[in-house]
Amino acid sequence: MRIISSAAAMQKFALQWKSAGVKIGFVPTMGYLHTGHLSLVRTARKRVGPKGKVVVSIYVNPTQFAPTEDLSKYPRDLKRDLKLCREAGVDIVFTPGDAEMYPGKAEGNYSTYVVEENLGRVMEGASRPTHFRGVTTVVAKLFNIVLPDVSVFGQKDFQQAAIIQRMTRDLNFPVKIIIAPTLRERDGLAMSSRNKYLMGDLRRQATVLWCALQIAKWLVEKSKSVSAADLKADLKKLIEIEPDAKLDYVEFFNPETLLPMAQVKRGTHMALAVFVGKTRLIDNAKL
């Protein structure tokens, strides 16, 4: 396994593989890897085969964090991440710094961003207005550096995956986007690097997201149609029974357009964001 921090060097390897007809599978991450990330690596390997190459990027992207968010505190453990990647059979781990990804930005001389203007307005986009501009910009840059044939994203970040799919289509990136299922802990909590923040009873309280998803599924199975407004109100009460849980949003929407739906029925998608203590967690499911 090679570890590369230079964008030019990473791109050189990718071009050599391309010229030799070698397929490239790519998993972009912000590090602090867990079992969910490793499942994405396995999916990438299956897609490119034993003769293909799998690249994992580890980069905590500053442009997707607002000034009030947890950029400086975001969990990092590169030594552990590299060990996990080596054990998973990754071919290259790309670990660029800010100067590689945003040349000139420290001096105020970086000014090009990628913006998706439709799917990113709701849910995470409404709560974190600058977030998706950072995501689409860094992913577009990584696609140009790694030159993957396939790239794998997790369904836990449903809206992000939808936006990456739209960007890939709209900007004609020759990349197949694969959305892999959410992996969960035994108690239903979606695996996330931010789960590290959940100390003591906060870890138990965090399962309220999974409970909310299950209750919504049960109500939709029980009834042909449920009022979205009524269900939102009921779920807010349920979630905030936990003393340290505060609902940011819960939305019911068309999974293709992300447009909100006034009536919730089978096939509707649900997403929610909840603060548990100071930790903001997200989850989603098809109802």
Burial of 200 (0-12, 13-18, 19+ CB in 10 A): exposed
Nearest Cα to 85, choosing from 96, 77, 95, 93?
93
Q: Is 24 left (phi over 0), alpha (psi -120 to 50) or beta?
A: beta
The SS3 of residue 227 is strand
Q: How far apart are CA 220 and CA 117, in angstroms?
A: 31
The CA–CA distances, whole Å, from 92 to 81, 153, 160, 176 equal 12, 18, 24, 19
N-terminal to C-terminal alpha carbon distance within the chain: 41
Show which residues are catalytic: 37
Write the DSSP assignment of 58-94 as a string of letters.
Answer: E---GGGS-TTSSTTTS---HHHHHHHHHHTT-SEEE
